Amino acid sequence: MLYTLFTIKNKPRWQKAVYIVFFVSLFAVPFLIFRSCEKNISPSLAHIALQINGKTYMYASGNYKEIKKSVPMGFVAIYKDDEAFFVRTTDLKTIANTMGGNVDLFEFKEASHDGYFSVNNQDTLYHEQSEIVTTATIGEQITKTTVTLRDKSNKTMNISWSYNQKTSEYKAGKNCENHSFWIKTTVQPGETNISTQDYLVIPLSRLAKFYGCSVSYDRETNVLFIKK
């Protein structure tokens, strides 16, 4: 059939070109969509690199008084939508304290960085408060949560959301959003499925703007860079 379309002499060239574009798009569009999905599969477990005064410190899991040898690096879950990056509420405290400078720095020269950092236990930048509300629907309760972030100049920003225990649904309030992401799940050994799922997330760009820092994510190394 395709051979006939392109060999009929009385068909104008522009019409043949339209046919070519149409049939190429049938194969190209699904391929591009698949590549986009693969690129944005979420979440990715990312290490955090804090850049201060020209030095790079990696986030160390655990609490330390001093570091004199290599230690395990911690990570956060990054959710991706092209060049927009997000974190869930479970990692919000770590990100807020890192961006806000509520950290302890440890000088220890490594091949790829200058030392490590850990979140300071004397937390003054993150305050979380929750309350349970019983609705008019029997057996239904909603947990309302408000997180107040603070910077070193005492400026504040509220992030709020609610969770319906009966429907297991999150509802975004201030400075967060419900966002759809591509996820990959294992159906059975050797078989995976790619689909979309909604999560309650906070844009990293919004947190960076509040704390006056810059943020970038390296897909190749899975490292989140925060520059103060």
Domain boundaries along the sequence of the chain: 39-227
Does 35 score more than 50 pLDDT? no
Helix (H) or strand (E) holding 170: strand 169-172
How far is CA 103 from each of CA 75, 85, 122, 174, rounded to the nearest angstrom?
Answer: 15, 22, 9, 26
> What is the model's pTM?
0.82
Q: What percent of the chain has pLDDT over 70?
A: 83
Note the pLDDT of residue 28.
43
Specify the pairing of strand 191-203 against strand 177-188. Answer: antiparallel
> Residue 131 — very low, low, confident or very high, per pLDDT cuts 50/70/90?
very high
Highest mean pLDDT among 61-65, 136-140, 191-195, 213-217: 213-217
